[in-house]
Structure 1
Amino acid sequence: MVRTTIACAWCRRSKIKCVHDGSPPCRNCLKSRRIEPNECILSGPFDSRDTADQRGGSPIRVTPSTVRTLSSQPAPRFASRVTPQCSTRSSPTTILEAESPVERQQSLNSQQDIISSLPTSTIIQAVSIFARKFPELAFIHLSSFSGIAGSFEHVQRRNHIAAILSLCADFLPSTTPNLQSPETYAKYTREGLSRLVIDPPSITVVQTLLTIAMYDWGNGNGYGAWMYGGMATRMMQSIQVLKRDRNYSERERETQNRTFWACFVMDRLIFCGKSQTLLLPMERMTIHLPVGDLDFTFGESSNIRYTNLDVVKDPIGLELHNTIDHQYSVLVRGSDICAKVLEFISSGGRRQPGMSEPDKCPWSATSPWNSIYENLAKWRSLQCRRLQYPLSPVATHVSLGNGESFAYINLLYYVCILFLNREYIPFLPSSTSEPQGPIDPPLLTALSPEDWWSDRAADLFYAAKCITTILDELNEVDSPLITPFAGFCAFSAATMNLYVAAFPQMNLGRSKDAAALAEHNIAYLDKFQRIWKIGIGWWKTIEQTRILYTRAMTDRSLFDGKTRADFVALEAALHDYSGASPVPEVIQEFGPPIHPGEVDDGDQAAAISLQELSSAGVHQQRNLPEEQIQPREIDDPGLAEYGIWNDVWPMWGEQQLLSFAPSNAYDFNAEFPPA
């Protein structure tokens, strides 16, 4: 490769070196996938005073030297997209013309077509859906957006609209003219971002990155979501530095502020307790929390601005900052607490070293569990009564236009309660078991206070019920919450509703409607997985959980002597935030699938042999020869192998191909049972 004064328009405009071998695409365009015809045009240096386009003169022509041609290099992994005239040269004297103004306009028109062909009213409708249905990303100022939605000349704006459509196209009327599929808009957005992320930082680009990160997260591409979210955060940080040199309106300042906090929330959503570190630790956040929705809507200055440090130092003075008008601020702080809960669980929870000692038992004031629980309770207590479900009904907030945001805050609270209390219950109790602590190692070394476990069970299963009823009430008033986080909450509630339906004494018989609630969860997940691919793994895990609990109810003797060590992978799946499934497609192969509303009896569940599931799952995932699979020695031949339950998967599920996550990222027990 040689460095010359010949460069493409992109590198010259970006003021970076254009490295090429005399023919397009150059190295920068190749990396950014600008490889279509006329996307990378090499030309000689322009006069610094004006350009050929400005002079109206002829385009500059470049004759490449007799250097190695692009076709002699190894084909890139996206070479199938390169056209013949772009990837090879007919002779060393081929003339490559710079893009003329006419060609540039034609290219612009082609890129605009997918957006400009839509009615402006459709775009406004999509943006409105986005603003309501994705409370995590509350940076849209709808009236400002409406004023410029009809202008498609700016490439950043077109990409932002395309990203929003990737999330909301499925929720627009099917009769909408020229409406494309969500993936079409997502592809358009990704291609546009490949050109924009190295441009000077822009709030619009940051918002586009966050939006497409949400799309990738919902579709099971956790790594892609992590990368886009990371780029958004880095770009937002640079904007925070540069904005000191400019005067912004109040609306622009708050849009930037909310976009920064959206980066904060997405960082926690994608982090979900896994091994990567947070980019934006709460304790280092010095910008003020989001102002009220009314102030933001009217673009007016707020007289009350609090940072997170103010929340800690003066909680009493924050009463006005925990009302309906400040829902985004409440959501931001709740997402940080939820991330800490998930981090505690995925780091080992009660199985971390020393957690069984008296001072680390959950009822001890010095225990990590109690510290997180107290922070959660404090966050909840600061909220006004109208923000707390069921003290305030969902339908009331829907009538005010903020039902989804209200639901999200309460889902955050109840899923945290669910995770914290689930950590200490037995994984597979008997039919007569009552609320109690762990029954498998490591056992707690101190006695619990009276009624401690009964109270924890009541909180746990009440949380599962509230999650279910919140989602049901949203659906009843035709205002469903469609963010991927809602699916995770439904999945978590389903696991506990199935659990207490199978073992009712674990809540002292207080969850009489658990089976019906579980059916509601499963019906919700059935619809959810048709929209978001991340739900497919949760659906499969629920199927396996039902099979296990039904078998345990039918004949508990089959599981005598079994502990959670025999179900490491299944338990990990119950904690999984990324939608991974321990055994893909096995249920469908070896037995009838479980459908929503279908009540399983013992005979149906028994038709799916855990032995079949075990050997098939191990062979399918690990591709090991049969003789390498050593079954555990147990009495019942129908439960001869437990390999299915003990597979461990990487950080972001099946889509994650890199190996920078610890191999035992989901191993809650340091010692694996024999394979």
Structure 2
Amino acid sequence: MAQISDLPPPKPIQDRFMGTLTVERIQSFLMLGLFEWSQENAPSAWMYLGIAIRMAELMRLEQDDRRMAILENQASDTKGFEKRSPEISIIRETRRRTMYSCFILDRLMSFGSERPLSIAVESMLIQLPCSEMAYDLSLEVYTGLLQPYGGSSQPQINDDSTLSRFINLVEIWGEISRYISMGGRLQETYPPWDPRSTFYKLREKTTAFNEDLPGTFTLSRQNYYRHDNHQATSTYVSLHMLASICQIVLNREYLPFLPLRSRGPQGPPIGNQTVLNFAPDRFWEESAEDVFQASRNIIDLVGLCKEKLPLSSLSIFSIWLAGFMSVYAHHFPQIDTSHRLGEQAESPHMGENLSMLEQGQAGTVCQALRRAATYLPSAQRYLDNLEAVDRCFTQAKNSTHGSLSLRLGEVGHGSELNQTGSQDKQRRGVYDMHRTNRSPMSASPKTRNSHRPMLEEPPKPTSSTSKSQLSLLGIDEGPLAMDTPKIFVDNIEALESQRMSWVLNDLEAFSGAGSLRVAFLG
């Protein structure tokens, strides 16, 4: 019988978890990161994603197609290479999807200098994922590259899918997220209608993307049910949720947070107001309508999905954005000139005793958030903030002395309320120095959706939320908690022209780089 001293020493725990590089191990870390992200355990989620990306890069998955082509050419020369087996096609597609899963989460969970991107789009030298039919049947198809490179002819694209379109949109979202994190409109040198401005270029990209969608991928009730028949609604819904997020986050950049003195859509009251007064006809109206139409699209999707709504951080964030704009449109209807969110649904349960969060478009949003709160802690947090926003806007409109009780969290951000024009100018041009010089894409005016489905009756609200019990080796359990000082703002004028993204801090909360900053005191 062997003695204990004769047994080999146990492997270090790091080797047992990460000693062998496999696609399955990468997928495991991606799933852990995705779960931790959904449970608002941002440090663990960020670390798990980082491990998965490093493993994928060590396996060179982003160059898989090129490497496999070289190996196949060598095999054909030496062994009379025959037709590729279906199993090989499935393995290669699985490796592609694993790498693109890393890419998607990298774009969604990165924000600002503290959460930099890990994967450069230029490094993705593998073709986009194929359609589910081509995947199931092991068909040999070509879907194109995420960023086609010049200098050599490319095969003709003969397959398309909502997943490949979603990945293209994720890259556009990554650019919008970086633009917002670096100051948004504060760093612009040109007005937003100038083709040289970053805002204009990003807006053209989102427009071109939507117009380039095939007819079967566009947003409509019929297309939703077509995808539902093939159990493919999750990617379809996520595609249009993200498309709406891009429209809202980008176009709200020039919407004033508190338009108390505005008679209609107009540029924010800032130091360079003279330039903004020379906007082309209906520029501000169309920009505002993009925000409200995108919000309405999200609410319509929620009504279509009902219990099939994907429970993900992305979908809950999109519902929050639509909910905020619904509250905004209710309190400031002069901004929503087309009444995309201003119509109240007729219901026998509606009455004078119901708050605006229990009826109409905002009511639809709150119902969806209450259902999701059982599984996603962020849903309850967004719901609480919607109630606080409603109280804030009500108090701001009713105030006669220009004062508002508002508490801002996060260290070091309170001074931004008193930024001067000269300080704003120092931030201009920063974004373009970090981006490649791409010419703006031409696009014609967008077509808009008019379908308006309604949500079913809500279940009883629940206060229970699930909490993650996972932790990383060497990292304290649970999310990082900081007792940050609070800053009280009593001057409504200080908030009137502030950027929505800065006041709400919701992009940081979505990515995991921060939390909702504002607590409104009723």
Task: Tell me the TM-score normalized by structure 1.
Answer: 0.54
Deviations for 1:442-487, whole angstroms, at most 9, x for unmatched residues?
A: 5462410011111111111011111111022101xx4221121100
Q: CA offset at residue 546 of structure 1?
A: 1.2
Question: Does residue 350 of the first structure (1) align with residue 188 of the second (2)?
Answer: no
Q: Is the 8 A contact 2:130 2:143 kept in 1?
A: yes
Gap change, CA 1:666 and 1:342, over 3 Å in 2:
farther
CA distance in 2, matches of 1:313, 1:365: 28
Instruction: Say whether residues 1:540 and 2:484 are aligned partners.
Output: no
Gap change, CA 1:390 and 1:552, over 3 Å in 2: farther
Query: Which residue does the alignment assign to 2:330?
Result: 501
Shift of 1:541: 2.1
Per-residue CA distance 1:281-312 (angstroms, 9 max, x = gap):
2133211111222121122322x241123399
User: Partner amino acid for 1:334?
Assistant: L
Partner residue of 2:288?
457
- How far did residue 273 of structure 1 move? 4.9
The equivalent of 2:372 in structure 1 is: 528
2:275 aligned to 409, 426, 445, which one?
Answer: 445
1:654 Cα deviation from its structure 2 partner: 12
Q: Which of 421, 439, 455 is 2:251 aligned to?
A: 421
Distance (Å, rounded) in 2 between the aligned partners of 1:442 and 1:318: 48
Change (3 A) 1:444 1:538: farther
Aligned residue number for residue 444 of structure 2:
none
Q: Does the CA contact (< 8 Å) of 1:258 and 1:290 recur in 2? A: yes
| CA distance 1:535–1:289, change in 2 (3 Å) | same
Distance of aligned partners of 1:653 and 1:305 in 2 relative to their CA distance in 1, 3 Å threshold: closer
**CA spacing shift, 1:272–1:313, aligned 2, 3 Å:** farther
1:518 corresponds to which of 362, 365, 368: 362
Larger Rg: 1
Is the Cα–Cα contact under 8 Å of residues 327 and 406 in structure 1 kept in the other structure?
yes
Aligned-residue offset at 1:414? 0.9
How far apart, in 1, do the equivalents of 2:511 and 2:238 lie? Answer: 27
> 2:25 is matched with which residue?
205
> Which among 294, 298, 303 is matched to residue 133 of structure 2?
294
Instruction: Say if 1:364 and 1:370, in contact at 8 Å, map to a contact too.
Output: yes
The residue matched to 1:559 in structure 2 has which SS? coil
Q: In structure 2, list runs of 5 or more residues that go unmatched.
A: 73-86, 345-355, 414-457, 461-481, 496-500, 518-522
Structure 1 pair 654–335 and aligned structure 2 pair: CA distance change class (3 A): closer
The question of 1:398 aligning with 2:342 is answered no
The answer as to 2:5 corresponding to 1:61 is yes
The Cα shift of 1:274 comes to: 5.8
Seen in structure 2, the aligned counterparts of structure 1 residues 420 and 313 have a Cα distance that, compared at 3 Å, is farther
Alignment of 1:366-377 (within 5 A): 366-377=196-207
Q: Which amino acid aligns with 1:559?
A: G
How far off is 1:193 after superposition? 8.8
Q: Which has the higher helix share?
A: 1
Q: Secondary structure at the match of 1:438?
A: coil
- Offset, 1:252: 0.4
Name 1:257's counterpart in structure 2. Answer: 96
Question: Which amino acid is 1:338 matched to?
Answer: W
Partner Cα distance (1:377, 1:312) in 2: 24
| SS of match in other structure, 1:435 | coil
After TM superposition, give the deviation of residue 646 of structure 1 in Å. 9.8
Q: Is the counterpart of residue 557 in structure 1 residue 409 in structure 2?
A: no
Write the distance in 2 (CA, Å) between the matches of 1:418 and 1:237. 33
Q: What is residue 475 of structure 2 aligned with on the other side?
A: none
Matches for 1:120-519 after TM superposition, within 5 Å? 196-240=16-60, 244=67, 249-273=88-112, 275-302=114-141, 304-310=142-148, 321-322=159-160, 326-352=161-187, 355=188, 357=189, 360-390=190-220, 392-430=222-260, 433-441=263-271, 443=273, 445-446=275-276, 447-475=278-306, 478-508=307-337, 510-511=339-340, 512-513=342-343, 516-519=360-363
Aligned to 2:452: none
State the one-letter code of the partner of 1:417.
Answer: Q
- Relative to structure 1, the CA distance from residue 363 to residue 649 in structure 2 (aligned partners, 3 Å threshold; closer, same or farther) is closer
Give the counterpart letter for 1:484 in structure 2: S
Pairs aligned (count): 408
CA contact (8 A) 1:471 1:481 kept: no
Aligned equivalents of 1:223, 1:633: Cα separation in 2: 34
Deviations 1:630-673 (A, max 9, x none): x76769xxx9xxxxx999999966998xxxx8x9x999xxxxxx
> What is the alpha-carbon distance in structure 2 between the residues aligned to residue 634 and residue 385 of structure 1?
49
Q: Matches of 1:537 and 1:276 in 2, distance apart?
A: 22
Provide the secondary structure at the position in 1 that maps to 2:192: coil
Q: Which gives a bigger RCO, structure 1 or 2 (Cα 8 Å, sep 6+)?
A: 2
